[in-house]
Structure 1
Amino acid sequence: MDSPLWKILGFFLAAVLLFLVPVMNMLERQDSAAYTVVFTETIRFVDSARDTGYITPNMYNEFVNRIHTTGCTFEIRIEHVKSMISPVYRQNGQVLEFTGEYEINRIAQGEDAILSVLFPDDPSLDAFDKARRYDMKAGDLLFVEVKNSGKTMATALRDMILLSDTQVPTLFVRAGGLVRNEAY
């Protein structure tokens, strides 16, 4: 049977195989390269902050500018967990006795607290002013999470082909750890 329907179907299949598959492959490679850039820059920013014990506005702006070179928009979350070590005492009558134990209290500082120090409402402060530096102590924890807030081209094309709506971010990076030094 030499039906025109089969010819149209064959032409459509050829168009998909000759056009969409290579384009999809190229866009997925672009996503892979963007992921590599975001991963590398996030690790660089976190390691720099952990090694120095502080975050400056220039460090943060450089980090944001470098990840935005990928052409994607990102949602960045920063969390600093302060560690406070307190000795545990027991009251014995009128005297406090040290029990030989220590208690670790952790207080989480969110992104708003960090960014309010880096970028205060006072415009008279210079970018290099120490009041605009967010200081951390050795033993504290710092975590940074970066995820794309929009769809990448590969995700948009895949959603168009499969008639779906992907809600999961394509580029998602977490980094963090213990602050190792206080270089201020």
Structure 2
Amino acid sequence: MERQDDRSQMVVQKSVTRFVDAVRTKGYVTPIMYRQFNEEIAATGNVFDIEMVHENKLYIPVYRDPANPSTFEGKYITDFSNFYTDDIMKVMFPDTTEPDQSETRRYHLEVGDFFTVTIKNKNRTPATHMQDMLLAGSTGDNTKIFVPYGGMVINEDDV
């Protein structure tokens, strides 16, 4: 049973890597990309918690007096504004009848932003059930498959 969990881990790792790298290369995620990703990991027979994080890079100008634009010091500080799974899903799956291919349903990122996906199983895997039987009780945490992966957005495709 442990081997089944190992195979599931490998399938999920490959799917997460492919999905995140596609988003980083294209600069957007679509409902079609997300659904395909979900289908790939669902093929393992497990139920997953999927967390997506988009860190939007911001450049903030530095002023001696923020109320006076002429005091700009010629420097910028960088900061990030984070958007999470719910924010991303609202763009991809709005309460409209727009088709999946619609431009309005694309969640866009910019070069220099970061995109990360973290996946963990929510169900008790077959190996966990077997351990529970052998140990005559619950083995505790269900998480056997855990995959964090992400990186910097490197491109913004128009199509």
TM-score (ref. length: structure 2) = 0.93
Choose the corresponding residue for 2:28, options 54, 60, 73.
54
Q: Any idea what SS the aligned residue of 1:96 has?
A: helix
Q: Any idea what SS the aligned residue of 2:133 has?
A: helix
Give the distance between the partners of 2:10 and 2:41, measured in 1 at CA: 10
Give the distance between the partners of 2:87 and 2:120, measured in 1 at CA: 20
**Cα shift readout 1:154-180 (whole Å, capped 9, x = no counterpart):** 111111111232214000000011111
Give the distance between the partners of 1:134 and 1:33, measured in 2 at CA: 31
Identical columns (%): 37
Q: Report the counterpart of residue 146 of structure 2 in structure 1.
A: 172
Runs of 4+ in 1 over 2 A off after TM superposition: 94-101
CA RMSD, aligned part only? 1.7
- Checking the alignment, whether the CA contact within 8 Å between 2:118 and 2:148 is kept in structure 1 is yes
Q: Report the counterpart of residue 141 of structure 1 in structure 2.
A: 114
Shift of 1:97: 3.0
Is 1:63 matched up with 2:27?
no
Q: Report the counterpart of residue 21 of structure 1 in structure 2.
A: none
Q: Report the counterpart of residue 40 of structure 1 in structure 2.
A: 14
Q: Report the counterpart of residue 99 of structure 2 in structure 1.
A: 126
Amino acid of the structure 2 residue aligned with 1:68: A
**Cα shift readout 1:85-137 (whole Å, capped 9, x = no counterpart):** 12212239x672332421112111111110011111112x0110000000000
Q: Report the counterpart of residue 96 of structure 1 in structure 2.
A: 70
Choose the corresponding residue for 2:82, options 108, 121, 141.
108
Which blocks of at least 5 consecutive residues in structure 1 are unaligned? 1-26
- Checking the alignment, whether the CA contact within 8 Å between 1:90 and 1:96 is kept in structure 2 is no
Amino acid of the structure 2 residue aligned with 1:155: T
Give the distance between the partners of 1:67 and 1:95, measured in 2 at CA: 51
TM-score (ref. length: structure 1) = 0.81
Judge which range, 156-165 or 132-141, deviates more. Answer: 156-165
Structure with a larger share of its residues in helix: 1
Q: Any idea what SS the aligned residue of 1:91 has?
A: coil
Give the distance between the partners of 1:39 and 1:49, measured in 2 at CA: 15
Q: Any idea what SS the aligned residue of 2:41 has?
A: helix
Give the distance between the partners of 1:59 and 1:69, measured in 2 at CA: 16
Is 1:162 matched up with 2:135?
yes
